[in-house]
Chains A and B, each alone.
Chain A
Amino acid sequence: GQNIDQPTEMTATEGAIVQINCTYQTSGFNGLFWYQQHAGEAPTFLSYNVLDGLEEKGRFSSFLSRSKGYSYLLLKELQMKDSASYLCAVRDGSSNTGKLIFGQGTTLQVKP
């Protein structure tokens, strides 16, 4: 089966650091993506991990452990505009379509 778990909601303070966790159990694995989605808008790409380790991109970093079926997204120096839903998605490795299997999303609220 396919299962991707992430917390439903998180709250953090402007300027702080927040870590959003994602665990997955999928029949195939071919990479993990993080997307940001503001209310009523399209998901936008944040990061991609296919090998174990940390990928850093400005204020955003993403980590992957394939053996543990675990990833996290780290957001530093939080800004009010970071209030959004963060979607963890696994690229299905059981087919060659590249389709994504998404978690339910984590709604992050950044407070002043």
Chain B
Amino acid sequence: DTGVSQDPRHKITKRGQNVTFRCDPISEHNRLYWYRQTLGQGPEFLTYFQNEAQLEKSRLLSDRFSAERPKGSFSTLEIQRTEQGDSAMYLCASSATTYEQYFGPGTRLTVT
């Protein structure tokens, strides 16, 4: 069990550029979550996958955001036309049940 991994750990981009983050969950975890965390706040739910199906999206996830989980393994989160307000830590978590969620180290996005 190597834990949840995320790549990259840090990303600096200019406003208007597109960025893509990757999350590799713990193997055999069929549930995968994306959260966003800004400084001094707790994580906020963005979206949920059960296997390859995206079953819930938060209203925070504007049409500039898209997430996928092909084949029910790794997941990607893409942000198009980034804005300064997108600067945050993007956390991925996985679980085998609705019980404990295991979080990855996060991708810190800075939009300049």
Contacts and interface: CB of A to CB of B under 8 A. Distances in A.
Interface of A (DSSP majority class): loop
B42 A103 contact: yes
Interface stretch (B12-20, B61-69, B96-104): B96-104
B104 A30 contact: no
Contacts of A89: 42
A67 interface: no
A99 B21 CA distance: 20
Contacts of B100: 33, 45, 48
Interface residues of A, number: 27
Contacts of A27: none
B103 A95 contact: no
User: B interface, how many residues as a size bin?
Assistant: 20 to 34
A103 B42 CA distance: 6
Interface string B67-97: 0000000000000000000000001000101
Given A35-B103, A98-B48, A98-B101, 9 more contacts: A40-B108, A41-B105, A42-B104, A42-B105, A43-B43, A48-B99, A97-B33, A98-B99, A99-B56
7 contacts: A33-B100, A35-B103, A41-B105, A42-B4, A98-B97, A103-B42, A104-B42
